[in-house]
Structure 1
Amino acid sequence: MSAALALAGGAVQADQADRSQPLVIEANKPGTVDMLKQVVVFNGNVLVTQGTMRIKAERMELREVGEGHRTATALGVPGTQATFRQKREGLDEYIEGTADRIDYDSRSDLLKLTGNAHVRRLRGSSVADEITGELITYDNRAELFSVAGNNASGGRVRAVLTPPPPAASGASR
């Protein structure tokens, strides 16, 4: 079963200023930076930041794929999933997600969360919308989330969408 939706309340585009910020990778264990193969691998409580974007994982593999683009794979471990969080453009809102595996491709601007995936949109610190499934794909360009279930568990997916906050009460009737 597969479903696709744009989160309620309009566009979910990530903060565009993040792309021009430095990419910082930190970890508790030694890592490798292979300049020839253009591959970075870090293990042990890895934290990746770029502007407002944060990815936490047990293992992170980052590859340069040409023309300034990168692919990244963040892996959790049993009991601790990989996490993603990023501010929405021009709003006091964040998109955050958890999954066993998170893959990102900057060329297609696609984020895939696989394995007990969960994505939330926060307004300030309050949860506004939630999506759960086996696979959640976030297409930032199309401003679209797609969610698919696990066929072994019946393929169920779930979305909880809240109405937008009321408009400012300055209009007269």
Structure 2
Amino acid sequence: MPQHHLRSPRTPRFLAAIAGLMLTVGVAHAELADKDKPMNIEADSLRYDDATLTSVFTGKVVITKGTIIMRGNKMDVRQDTQGNQFGLLLGEPGFFRQKREGLDEWVEGEADRIEYDSKAQTVVLTGNAALRRYRGTAINDENLGNQITYNSVSEVFTVKGGAASSTPANPSGRVRAMLTPIPDAVRNAPAPAPANSEPAKLRPSSKINEKRK
């Protein structure tokens, strides 16, 4: 099985409404170490165009980058001269997963089409899109719509509905969300103590450019 490696200094770091919705997932960020990890891709076949720095992977495509995992039937990956990576994943459905920094929590997404942008650090899921957050192995939040855009830096996501996301169970195509209350143990946990609670000590100076000893 062909395997290909793409390296980049950055990575991709998700109640009902008719057309759009914006929610914050929390204050923690996606796994910070992922940005420095290489992108590894496995597939049944690969076509690479050196002129456009574009790779096309076909057949049982699996992408890993740190804690990020993506799977689908076909993946087009373009890398610019700065090392930023732009991917288009097609699947039935395609799959995306990433760990949240410092927590036993994961963000998972599914859609017919997944666009990955390491420069903007966003993932766009289009067509029967779903975005879920797991706390451990238990699902905590679920959001359904036609298109979901997830920013892994701000951990803000938007969900759009419409006719394209209509199903027999949801003929109106409206956005749907399931939000689980935050457990008392998490909500009432004490805030971590600051690294240094002692206030900074300032020394007065009569000269602007005085050298400190």
Fold conserved between structures, TM > 0.5: yes
CA contact (8 A) 2:30 2:155 kept: no
Which residue of the partner structure matches residue 3 of structure 1? 21
Matched, 1:14 2:30: yes
- Distance of aligned partners of 1:155 and 1:64 in 2 relative to their CA distance in 1, 3 Å threshold: same
CA contact (8 A) 1:16 1:89 kept: yes
Computing the radius of gyration from Cα coordinates, the structure with the larger value is: 2
SS at match of 2:80: strand
**Segment of structure 1 superposing worse, 11-20 or 100-109:** 11-20
CA contact (8 A) 1:148 1:155 kept: no
Which residue of the partner structure matches residue 160 of structure 1? 178
When the two structures are aligned, how many residues end up with a matched partner? 165
Residue identity in the other structure for 1:5: L
Q: Give the Å deviation of 1:140.
A: 1.9
Matched, 1:135 2:147: yes
- Distance of aligned partners of 1:43 and 1:170 in 2 relative to their CA distance in 1, 3 Å threshold: closer
SS at match of 1:37: coil
Give unmatched runs, 5+ long, in structure 1.
Answer: none
Matched, 1:60 2:60: no
CA deviation map 1:43-63 (0-9, x unaligned): 011000011100000000010
RMSD: 1.8
Per the normalisation by structure 2, the TM-score is: 0.73
Which residue of the partner structure matches residue 103 of structure 1? 115
Structure 2 Cα separation of the partners of residues 124 and 170 of structure 1: 17
Percent identity of the aligned residues? 44
Residue identity in the other structure for 1:89: E
Structure 1 Cα separation of the partners of residues 113 and 88 of structure 2: 7
- Distance of aligned partners of 1:111 and 1:12 in 2 relative to their CA distance in 1, 3 Å threshold: farther
Q: Which has the higher strand share?
A: 1
Per the normalisation by structure 1, the TM-score is: 0.89
Structure 1 Cα separation of the partners of residues 95 and 52 of structure 2: 26
CA deviation map 1:28-54 (0-9, x unaligned): x22112233111110011000011100
Structure 1 Cα separation of the partners of residues 69 and 117 of structure 2: 15
Structure 1 Cα separation of the partners of residues 109 and 155 of structure 2: 16
CA contact (8 A) 1:110 1:137 kept: yes
CA contact (8 A) 1:122 1:128 kept: yes
CA contact (8 A) 2:69 2:96 kept: yes
Which residue of the partner structure matches residue 45 of structure 1? 60
CA deviation map 1:63-105 (0-9, x unaligned): 01232211100001xxx20000010011100000100000011
